[in-house]
Every structure is written in C-alpha cells, then in structure tokens.
Amino acid sequence: MPTMQVFVRFNSHHSFPVDVDSSWSVLQLKEVLAARQQVPPAEIRIIFAGRELRDSFIIGECDLASHSIVHVVRGRPQLSVEAQVSSSSSQEPQSLTRVDLNPQEDGASASNTSHGAAHRHPHFFVYCKQQCKDVQPGKLRVSCATCKQGTLTLNRGPGSWDDVLLPGRIQGRCQSQGCQGTVAEFYFKCAAHPTQEEDTAAALYMIKSNTQDVPCMVCEEVSTPLILFECEDAHTSCLDCFHTYCTTRLNDRQFVQDATLGYTLPCPAECEDSLIKEVHHFRVLGDEQYERYQRFGTEECVLQMGGVLCPGRGCGAGLLPEGETRRVECVRQGAQGCGLVFCKDCLEPFHQGECRPQMEQLFGAENRIAVDPESALRSRWERESEETVRQTTKPCPNCKAPVEKNGGCMHMTCPRAQCRYEWCWLCETAWNRDCQGDHWFG
C-alpha cells in the first residue's frame, strides 16, 4: 500500500510529520493522531484546504499531496458544518484542488466540472519562483483572514477567479480555538513539488490548459498550457511565443506604462482593451529579464510622473525634482544616489545659463561627472562607448533620448513608450511630407 508523509499541525502550533497510508480512512488517521496526542479520537477534527475531512473519507481520495499540511483542532465534529458540506454537492465534498475557476463554454457551472475529462487537466497555473523558476500547475489553499491559520472551513467553494483573487468574497468559519474569523483568504502554491508553508506562488489566471486544442496565434502549434488574452476575440498564444513576444517588446522598450495596471503589454494582435492586468504574468520572462522588466517599468513610471533618471554612469536613480529649478541633485542615501548635480533640461552637469545645443552636449568632451579615481581608470573604454553611441544614435528631437537606427527608413518613432515622437533621421525634426517624399529611404 502506498504510504506518504503529511505534516500535521496541532491547534495551530507545532507541526509534525506523520506517515499515512492512502488506503486509510480519516478515522484511522484520527486514531493515530489521538494516540500520539493522548486525546480521544472523537474529539479531534481534521481540516484540509478549507473543509473538514469526515471520518469516512479515504485519505487517498482527499487530494492530499505528499507533505501537505493538515490542521488538527480539538472539538467534536460539528454536525452543522457536515450538513452544509453534504448538502452543497454530491456525496464527495468538493476539494479545493479540483475547483475549476474557468468559465465553461457549455455554460455548466464551475462546481460541476470536478469530474470527467476536465479533471485530467490542471485548472490553474502559478509561477514557482522558489524552486522550479517556471510556470507550473498550482494548488489552491485557503486560510483564515483573521488568524492566518489553515483552520478555516468554507461555507461554499469558490466558483470563479474573482472569488479567489478579490478579498472578502467567500465566507467560512475558523475552527481554531479562540478565533472568530469568518473570512477566507486564498493563496496558491506550486503543485510540482512538496512546499513549505511560506512557499506561496503568484496565480497566473490567464494561463490555462489547452482543452480545446487551439493553435497558438503566433506559431500555430497546438500546445498546453496556453495564455488566453483578455481581448474580445479571446486570442491565445503558446507560452514559448508569449515569452518571445515579451522579450522582443522588452528589448525595444515597447511595453506600455498604464497608470492603473503598470508596465504591461496588450494582446500580440494589438486588440483594444487587451492590456494584461496581472503583471505577474511577465514572470515567464525568467528572473533576469523580469528584473529588467521591473527596472524599465520603474523608470517609465518615474518619467510619467514628470521625474528624471539620474544620468550619472551606472546610476539611473529615479528622481522627482520639486519646484521650478533646473538644478537636480542625486542625493546619496545609503546605497542609493551618486551625488551628481545635473540640469533637469539637458541632463548635463548643472550649469548656469542656457543649455548648449543638444549634439554638442550629449557628446561634449568635458567631464560628465566629478571624476573619481576608479572611473578615471575606465575612462578610455567609456570614451569608446560614447563614440559608438555618437556614431549609431541620434537624440530624439522631442525627449533627447539617444535613438539607434538599426535599418529601415528615415521615418523614426521614438522607442520610448511615453514619447513616441515621429521624426526624421536626416532632418532631426518632426516627420513631414517633404521627408516622406524626398528622402524616406535616404
């Protein structure tokens, strides 16, 4: 008989491992625990994932994965709770592991889909950042919003993503002694491996099992899981293409800085109202690229708020200058800030009087920063890279960001999502009909 180990947490205190046989009934488990704790088996209750496990349940049918944490509280099983559970569905009470939060196309309610074909597919996915560093099937767990223990039994199971993601929608009753909690708090874990209690994972609700064998809109391969965009056409893409799409857009800084949603992307077909609302989906970029994504997002946010990014080498701190003065100081605060004092308008070291013409400034021979010995050592290389920038880029006439032209015509669009100024590479002015007709391609 297959055995497995579960962790038993007694009265919300210590937890200890117990070897259980999946053919056992819950009552048999209670007997083992009762002997260990020296209490009568009839006076303990076992709670797992939002429901009380009844004596007659078979452990192997309770969706207890190895190393799951079950909660044990003192007290007699409450008939009222049992009655609620048994009346809410068929003989087998619904387990959180089998809840399908995705609306079914045939109109069947979510709670009826725990049997049959849909059961073979994972219903929800998470990004596991602790171990797998990948998208994995997730498991849904619940705790009491008051005492944070997993001792809450649910009045009803969640039926939609909103039930799970929006706080306070599902009620229950906390069975911990002394806790009067009634509100459920859902969270997700990676289902690919045993998890510690604190190993929660972000739910990626746009990622779904490809139960309809829909081909990816980009590569046309049929694969599972896929990502379903929230556009009217319900476009889908495979995760590989979504990854490529995000990386391409990130490299070109073509994400959109939305005031409410943050730094995000629309459906690859650019459908209306299709911006990704849960930015954890960009976790699929992997740790390194996700960090870059966060940095770019912060920078765009600072710029959108009217701030500036410190031009000091390797600094880039976001600053929100106050008042009308052009003088901005990148104040040193602990590990942050480089001390550079610069002009808000031209991003050169601060100066009296008007800013010099742009090209001269950007690549002027003067020192850009107060030289310290270390950066002086690197100056040769820096000058070379500055030369590269000078040869391959021109400043956007609107926002002054150096823009590289890596092919194509003379019609430039500033790659900064907040700028998007259309200009001519040759004239360095706004794109106009003369440019279009006379030297579109140079």
Partner 1 sequence: MMASLPRRIIKETQRLTHEPVPGISAIPDEQNARYFHVDVMGPSESPFEGGTFKLELFLPEDYPMAPPKVRFMTKIYHPNIDKLGRICLDILKDKWSPALQIRTVLLSIQALLSAPNPDDPLANDVAEQWKVNESHAIETAKAWTRLYAMKS
Distance of closest approach, residue 134 Cβ to partner 1, in angstroms: 22
**What is the distance between the alpha carbons of residues 116 and 97, in angstroms, rounded to a whole number?**
15
Residue 16 interacting with partner 1 (CB under 8 A) = no
Cis peptide before 266 (omega within 30 of 0): no
Distance of closest approach, residue 219 Cβ to partner 1, in angstroms: 5
Residue among 367 and 413 whose Cβ is closer to partner 1 = 413
Choose the stretch contacting partner 1; rule: CB under 8 A; options: 36-44, 193-201, 287-295, 404-412. Answer: 404-412
Q: Total binding residues for partner 1 by CB under 8 A?
A: 24
Distance of closest approach, residue 216 Cβ to partner 1, in angstroms: 8
Length of the chain equals 442
Choose the stretch contacting partner 1; rule: CB under 8 A; options: 106-114, 156-164, 327-335, 409-417. Answer: 409-417
If we measure between CA atoms, which residue out of 110, 52, 62 comes closest to residue 83? 52
Q: DSSP class of residue 432? A: -
Binding to partner 1 by CB under 8 A, coded x per residue (else -) over 224-263, reads: -----------x-----x--xx--x---------------
Choose the stretch contacting partner 1; rule: CB under 8 A; options: 264-272, 286-294, 343-351, 386-394. Answer: 264-272
Residue among 221 and 360 whose Cβ is closer to partner 1 = 221
Per-residue burial over 371-408, b = 16 or more CB atoms within 10 Å of its CB, e = otherwise = eeeebeeeeeeeeeebeeeeeeebbbbeebbebeeeee
**Binding test (CB under 8 A) with partner 1, winner from 14, 120, 380, 433:** 433
**Binding test (CB under 8 A) with partner 1, winner from 413, 429, 430, 432:** 413
**What is the distance between the alpha carbons of residues 146 and 379, in angstroms, rounded to a whole number?**
58
**Binding test (CB under 8 A) with partner 1, winner from 2, 334, 373, 408:** 408
If we measure between CA atoms, which residue out of 149, 142, 154 comes closest to residue 176? 149
* Counts of helices then strands in the chain (DSSP H, E): 9, 24
If we measure between CA atoms, which residue out of 366, 374, 375, 420 comes closest to residue 396? 420
Distance of closest approach, residue 201 Cβ to partner 1, in angstroms: 28
Residue 430 interacting with partner 1 (CB under 8 A) = no
Distance of closest approach, residue 238 Cβ to partner 1, in angstroms: 11
CB atoms within 10 A of CB 33: 20
Give the end-to-end CA distance of the chain in Å, rounded to a whole number.
Answer: 77
If we measure between CA atoms, which residue out of 65, 120, 57, 149 comes closest to residue 94? 57
CB within 8 Å of 107: residues ≥ 6 apart: none
**Binding test (CB under 8 A) with partner 1, winner from 35, 166, 269, 370:** 269
Displacement of CA 56 from its chain's centroid (Å): 40
- Touching partner 1, residues 188-227 (CB under 8 A): 217-221
**Binding test (CB under 8 A) with partner 1, winner from 61, 232, 384, 434:** 434
**Binding test (CB under 8 A) with partner 1, winner from 337, 411, 426, 427:** 411
Residue 404 interacting with partner 1 (CB under 8 A) = no
Residue among 205 and 431 whose Cβ is closer to partner 1 = 431
Residue among 44 and 435 whose Cβ is closer to partner 1 = 435
Active-site annotation, residues: 409
Choose the stretch contacting partner 1; rule: CB under 8 A; options: 166-174, 364-372, 380-388, 408-416. Answer: 408-416
- Touching partner 1, residues 95-114 (CB under 8 A): none
Distance of closest approach, residue 372 Cβ to partner 1, in angstroms: 41
Distance of closest approach, residue 54 Cβ to partner 1, in angstroms: 50
Residue among 82 and 434 whose Cβ is closer to partner 1 = 434
Residue 270 interacting with partner 1 (CB under 8 A) = yes
Distance of closest approach, residue 221 Cβ to partner 1, in angstroms: 6
CA dihedral 93, 97, 100, 101 (to 10 degrees): 110
CB within 8 Å of 337: residues ≥ 6 apart: 310, 315, 317, 330, 331
Contact 211, 149 (CB under 8 A): no
**Binding test (CB under 8 A) with partner 1, winner from 39, 132, 341, 409:** 409
The per-residue DSSP string of 187-226 comes to: EEEESSS---TT-EEEE-TTEE--TT-PBPTTT--B-SSE
Residues that bind partner 1 (CB under 8 A): 217-221, 235, 241, 244-245, 248, 268-270, 408-409, 411, 413, 433-434, 436-438, 440-441
